[in-house]
């Protein structure tokens, strides 16, 4: 897949240009599937969060509310009960998966349990746009600071990329650069701290930071 890993979505012209470059055409011509699953795993998220995301409400104007040709919903917790013959065509027909934040370990669990994780290597032309946990799930490790799901066995992600992500830099009192430095010291490998105006583009193993804000790379 082509990855656009963000902290807060498509928040500025540089990230928007990167998104349309990955898509190969304007957002308005592309069909998106919203993946809200991570929201259920976080104690500060709930039904209103899911509704706003899938409806493209104003809070999600930088993500599901960008003006897509169509929005559908792919709820991973439902997929094991309906069978791959039904949901795999939905994924293949979409241009982009919009994967919202929440708890990355919960999302990791359901990506494996649903079969979506196994499908990813076959989706070479699809675009994955993650926000927060929707980006972190692609990394080797999330870091214990970001694990909110009580049943999480550890802080591992899918390891699709070889770096970890500290999101929401400077957005919260506990997400300062000093906090990122402490977090990175506990991550065994390279990592990035990114703010809401930054994204990481990954295509065929090539990594490019797209930013109009603040970010830092930790070499591990």
Residue 24 has, within 13 A of its CA and on its CB side, a CA count of 7
**SS3 of 151, please?**
coil
Compute CA distances 67 → 61, 99, 122, whole Å: 8, 16, 27
Q: Which CATH number is associated with domain 2-218?
A: 3.40.50.880
Residue 159's pLDDT is: 98
**Helix, coil or strand: residue 3:** strand
Query: Closest Cα to residue 165, out of 197, 190, 129, 144?
Result: 190
**pLDDT at position 135, please?**
98
pLDDT at 188: 87
Q: Which residue ranges make up each domain of the chain?
A: 2-218
C-alpha distances out from residue 61 to 11, 68, 81, 158, 171, Å = 9, 11, 32, 28, 18
Q: What is the dihedral of CA 23, 211, 131, 184, to 10 degrees?
A: 130
Position 44 scores a pLDDT of: 86
Task: Tell if the pTM clears 0.75, that is, is over it.
Answer: yes
Q: What is the pLDDT of residue 165?
A: 98
Q: For every one of its 220 residues, what pLDDT tens digit does the chain have, with 9 covering 90 and above? A: 999 999 999 999 999 999 999 999 999 999 999 999 999 999 888 899 999 999 999 999 999 999 999 999 999 999 999 999 999 999 999 999 999 999 999 999 999 999 999 999 999 999 999 999 999 999 999 999 999 999 999 999 999 999 999 999 999 999 999 999 999 999 989 999 999 999 999 999 999 999 999 999 999 7
pLDDT of residue 74: 98
Closest CA to 196 of 164, 217, 163, 167: 167
Cβ–Cβ under 8 Å, residues 27 and 187:
no
């Amino acid at each position: 897949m082509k990855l656009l890993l963000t902290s807060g979505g498509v928040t500025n012209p540089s990230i928007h240009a990167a998104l349309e470059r990955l898509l190969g055409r304007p957002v308005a011509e592309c069909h998106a599937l919203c993946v809200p699953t991570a929201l259920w795993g976080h104690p500060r998220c709930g039904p209103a969060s899911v509704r706003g995301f899938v409806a493209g409400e104003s809070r999600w104007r930088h993500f599901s509310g960008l003006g897509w040709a169509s929005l559908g919903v792919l709820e991973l917790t439902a997929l094991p009960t309906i069978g791959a013959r039904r949901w795999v065509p939905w994924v293949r027909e979409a241009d982009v998966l919009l994967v919202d934040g929440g708890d990355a370990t919960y999302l990791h669990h359901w990506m494996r349990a649903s079969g979506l994780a196994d499908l990813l290597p076959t989706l070479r032309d699809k675009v994955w746009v993650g926000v927060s946990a929707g980006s972190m799930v692609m990394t080797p490790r999330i870091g214990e600071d970001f694990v909110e799901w009580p049943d999480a066995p550890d802080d591992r992600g899918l390891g699709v990329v070889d770096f970890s992500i500290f999101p929401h830099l400077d957005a919260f009192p506990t997400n300062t650069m000093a906090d990122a430095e402490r977090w990175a010291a506990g991550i065994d490998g390279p990592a990035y701290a990114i703010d809401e105006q930054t994204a990481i583009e990954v295509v065929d193993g090539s990594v490019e930071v797209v930013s109009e804000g603040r970010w830092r790379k930790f070499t591990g």
